[in-house]
Structure 1
Amino acid sequence: MTFTTTIIVFVAIFNGFNIYGNGVNKNIQTIAHRGYVAKGVENSIEALEGATEVGADYVEFDIILTKDNKFIVMHDYNLKRLAGINKRVQDMNFDEIVSLPIKQGDYTSKIPSLEEFVTKAKELNMKLVIELKPHGAEPDNYVDILIEEIKKFLSGQ
């Protein structure tokens, strides 16, 4: 056996004993990225419901601020990929975007508002991880707008 082969065998055996000796971490939790996309369009209510059905612990989702400073649930800065509209979220008002039909694979849905998504997650008892998608045209009080929205959800208004 060459020296390199000996080292590789030793490292493999050493790591095997470490894994076996330390046991399995039972505190692992599952985060469904943009929901469970095997059940619906990413970042949709259906993907959120799908994540609940399969037992995910959390759902990660993306939010973008519209031109009139309201949050929608969407990953992309441009609506073309899912909605088929070649427009940027930052150039459109909330009422123009929310509820637009979206399609991904065999699934169809609509673009949810932040409020709609959080309300459904509360109903499903699903914990959320929010990813902010700043597009560069946010107002100076961007963080304040987000904090006010979150306070609304926490207070139940």
Structure 2
Amino acid sequence: MTIFEGDFSPPPGRFAVVVARFNAMVTEALLAGCLDSLRRHGVDDSRVDVAWVPGSFEIPLIARELAETGRYASVICLGCVIRGETGHYDHVAGQAAGGVLQAGLNAKVPVIFGVLTTESVEQALNRAGLKLGNKGGEAALAAIEMVNLLGRIKADAGSIEKLAR
């Protein structure tokens, strides 16, 4: 039985981070946590590109464009949608999630969903580093693990192909 697992060793390649400007107090903290986590795991700032978008709804388009360039090992998406008094929250959160998923599936590159969907500003700030860790840092760890996992799967597939010849 072959078991594939990613790890947190320094990953190869470049990383893109797409960050929503809306709720900047939260998203800037998510970005800081993300970049800190990448650095701690061997990804120098020179291997990271950051793209700012107006809001979380706009994240999927830019994530897909970046992922499809073939330039990035992973694209990390950071945003914050806070529930309000209207149904706007459900539409934005759902479309952002679905769009980020589709971007990764289409490009065959890990596109990581680091968009907070919270009931209040307090919850968002807590998840951006105030109390409950930093979800931006967690998104970076997911990206590293996925890059390393895909690398292992591709390396194993290459080994099996050579054996078949």
The TM-score with structure 2 as length reference comes to: 0.28
Normalized per residue, which structure has more helix?
2
- Look at both structures and tell me which one has the larger radius of gyration over its CA atoms: 1
The TM-score with structure 1 as length reference comes to: 0.29
